[in-house]
Structure 1
Amino acid sequence: MAKLTTALLLATTLVVAGCAKKPPAYIPPAPGNVPANPGNGFAPGSRGDFERSVTSNTVNFALDSFTLEERARAILDSQATWLTRYPNVPVSLEGHCDERGTREYNLALGDRRALAAKNYLAARGVAPGRISTISYGKERPIALGSDEASWAQNRRAVTIVLN
């Protein structure tokens, strides 16, 4: 009887294993990540489309400054062009500073940097109501280090598409 039970169990296992589903050759992306335009990989008006289309999403500033230099204005011009193409896309401008200075000083300076970028975009025809600003001061560095190269990278305003 034990041999018959073992044989039946073995046969059942082989039948079930033979019927197991094989994984598909192609697994589609998860919902929400499906590009509307598979040719370039990003939905028009999306964050990915913005980052691919503009010169940069980041403008940098000199030490203790919120003045937009020529390179920063050129970057913001490319952003304004994209933003006028997609007039319903909201963005946030994040102001950042390097590690030097007090927390309060850096929060205020980061706010002035974000507002400088916002005002520039508004002057280029982007509706100010779709641009929010926030200052992170020195709390979110992208370059870790206490040297001029790191500090220069951290003195910035970053445009983030919110949809």
Structure 2
Amino acid sequence: MILITASLGLAACSTPPKPAPVTSAPGVAAASPAASVAQPAAAAPGTLRPEYLDPSSAIAKRRSVYFGFDDNAIRQQDRDVIELQGRYLASHPGVSVRVEGNTDERGSAEYNLALGQRRADATAKALEVFGARSSQLDATSWGAEKPVAAGHDEAAWAQNRRADVVYPSK
């Protein structure tokens, strides 16, 4: 009886109820004329991924800076990568990255770790020039532990002498 009284009390309100939205099963068009107009689908919350996780974006594709033999100076041809990444980080202050310095296989483990660290530090400082904050950057060295090319010649070594800007995977 209480339920009936409560629903009768609501029926006496002066504000008319809003019509319920027309819904249909997924893949089936709704019957209302307004629904027949093509509407862009809204993305479900949490499905948008950051640009650095989009494999087709320049931010995801251009993350490596290369170095000469026994060198940690940023080369002019890699300035555009530094600028791209630095400006992206400047415009996304909540994003932090790890700058990983790498070397080729030549040299002792200790020497390569130190050289990789100098490369990571040089890259991080260059990113700061374009607006990245030092709090967004963690510079570390892998030495020769993470080669991208397995060969034992200059072509492979040149690919391994690098610093990579590594974004979080989520």
Aligned to 1:35: 47
Larger Rg: 2
Structure 1 pair 152–132 and aligned structure 2 pair: CA distance change class (3 A): same
Structure 2 counterpart of 1:112, from 113, 118, 124: 118
User: Aligned pairs, how many?
Assistant: 124
Structure 2 length as normaliser, TM-score?
0.68
Greater fraction helix: 1
Structure 1 length as normaliser, TM-score?
0.71
Aligned to 2:32: none
In 1, Cα distance between the equivalents of 2:88 and 2:167? 11
Structure 1 pair 109–72 and aligned structure 2 pair: CA distance change class (3 A): same
Please tell me whether the aligned partners of residues 50 and 82 of structure 1 are also in contact (alpha carbons under 8 angstroms).
Answer: no
**2:133 aligned with 1:94, yes or no?**
no
Q: Superposition pairs for residues 46-65 of structure 1, below 5 Å? A: 47-49=52-54, 52-54=57-59, 56-65=62-71
Identical residues among aligned pairs (%): 37
In 2, Cα distance between the equivalents of 1:61 and 1:137? 13
Q: Deviation digits for residues 94-146 of structure 1, max 9, x if unmatched?
A: 00000000000000000000000000111221110110011000011110011
Output the amino acid matched with 1:109.
L
What RMSD in Å do the two structures reach over aligned CA positions? 1.9
Task: Kindly state the Cα deviation for residue 85 of structure 1 after the two structures are TM-superposed.
Answer: 2.0
Aligned to 1:21: none
